[in-house]
């Protein structure tokens, strides 16, 4: 929310907040909600607002005018508004950062997909925790037909979700697929009747709202991190999360833990500070 408590005024997205749920609507229906540079700047600002929010638990992303998003604004690219090769590099890195900002939110994010979700639009859905689509929804990665390659998830996140061969098929053939195929290929969660999208999203939020919100945050964090690492490191995350769970459930006290005494010693300059530093500061330090 803005400083005066009102929803922020954006030109290319709608940002609504009601109770514990925020809704972002991509709002360029005349061009199938394609991601212009100004719209992307607004999304980055909205994601930062959500990151700082202490009240929002759920975020729904959808599109205006019967479509989700047609991807990056190719007109901007073709007219040279992205600049030279170095400018392109930094623009793509910026979009990657935008995707991470969405993916890393400690809220549950839901892509509510109707109509077309292609290119960058599909990449947005891959950053969300859940993806629900209407039966008439369509998706794909058509960049190869414009002589360009995806820049912020269309090859990387996609391969992690559907596998290497499917990712090659989706990108190299550039077909536009029906929504059910996205479910069958483990890209989206559910397909619903065309007039039931809002009902499905509301039912999912109602279910999630009944859960322990702290546990949901931990699950999102460890699952997102675990898929990017080896089994042993991943299980370390699981073990730390289990200990964190014990702590928030009231079993935090460990007999030989510090209990905040170290910081207290620093703050109040107690004898413990002098003892610890005296023992440690020169230990195994080579002196001239």
Q: How far apart are CA 96 and CA 126, in angstroms?
A: 12
Read off the tokens for 126.
Answer: 């891959």
Q: Is the dihedral of CA 220, 224, 100, 161 positive or negative?
A: negative
Three-state SS letters, 230-249: CHHHHHHHHHHHHHHHHHHC
CB burial of residue 268 (10 Å; 0-12, 13-18, 19+): exposed
Which position among 17, 42, 123, 200 bears the catalytic label? 123
Query: Catalytic annotation on 123?
Result: yes
Is 143 annotated in the active site?
yes
Dist. CA 18–CA 215, nearest whole Å: 22
Active-site choice (42, 48, 103, 143): 143
5 SS3 class: coil
Positions annotated as catalytic residues are 123, 143
């Amino acid at each position: 929310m803005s400083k005066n408590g009102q929803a922020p005024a954006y030109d290319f997205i709608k940002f609504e907040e009601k109770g514990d749920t925020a809704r972002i609507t991509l709002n360029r229906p005349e061009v199938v909600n394609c991601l212009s540079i100004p719209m992307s700047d607004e999304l980055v600002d909205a994601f930062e607002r959500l990151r700082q929010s202490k009240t929002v638990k759920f975020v729904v992303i959808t599109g205006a005018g019967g479509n989700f998003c047609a991807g990056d604004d190719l007109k901007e690219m073709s007219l040279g508004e992205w600049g030279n090769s170095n400018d392109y590099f930094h623009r793509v890195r910026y979009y990657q950062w935008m995707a991470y900002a969405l993916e890393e939110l400690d809220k549950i994010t839901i892509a509510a997909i109707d109509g077309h979700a292609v290119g960058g639009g599909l990449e947005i859905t891959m950053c969300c925790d859940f993806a629900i689509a209407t039966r008439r929804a369509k998706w794909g990665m058509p960049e190869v037909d414009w002589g360009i390659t995806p820049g912020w998830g269309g090859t990387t996140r996609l391969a992690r979700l559907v596998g290497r061969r499917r990712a090659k098929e989706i990108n190299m053939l550039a077909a536009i697929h029906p929504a059910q195929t996205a479910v069958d290929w483990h890209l989206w969660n559910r397909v619903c009747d065309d007039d039931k999208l809002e009902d499905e999203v509301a039912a999912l939020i109602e279910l999630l709202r009944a859960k322990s919100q702290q546990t949901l945050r931990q699950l999102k964090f460890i699952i997102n991190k675990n898929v990017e690492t080896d089994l042993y490191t991943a299980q370390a995350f699981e073990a730390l999360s289990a200990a964190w769970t014990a702590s928030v459930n009231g079993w935090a006290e460990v007999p030989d833990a510090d209990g905040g005494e170290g910081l207290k010693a620093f703050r109040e300059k107690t004898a413990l500070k002098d003892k610890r530093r005296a023992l440690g500061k020169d230990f195994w330090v080579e002196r001239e």
